[in-house]
Structure 1
């Protein structure tokens, strides 16, 4: 059994929601930096409860941009790998590899920032 035996919140409240209601609650909780359960608890008890640990809000738009950047990096690397297979190929430019690595570093930093952390 996971968790601790000294758990203070032993009672469970379940509600049925439509898909739209569940999505609205999930979006509101995400904007507040809370889980859906913590958000519901806070709203139902009108904020009179010990504060939950807030999750940093996730910048979904930025993560989408970073996902596109990851695709671009993959395409660039794929081109570098295939180049020696083409007849009359030129040697791989070390600058092109360095540019891919720089973009990967930017991608990593962007993901960390979008998740609300310091790179």
Structure 2
């Protein structure tokens, strides 16, 4: 009976082993999020206030704002996460690392909003 559990544990260990994602995944994800953010910005820029009197016209701008906000936030998190090791090596402690991370989030957010 113990042999069965040993095999079972080995099978679980192999099945749950970490898998490295493809190298191009982060680049594809970043480009997709950037494209979604830019499309949402374009949609909101073409929005006309005069058409907003009718509630039926609210769907596109609300959807564009939601998609743009979500894609922008994900893009900020992705970029900040990619630079984590560099910030961690420069940080003198956990509080310094947290401050550096917050500054990185603010900088990335500013970059996206300035587009």
Give the TM-score of the pair, scaled to structure 2. Answer: 0.34
Larger radius of gyration: 1
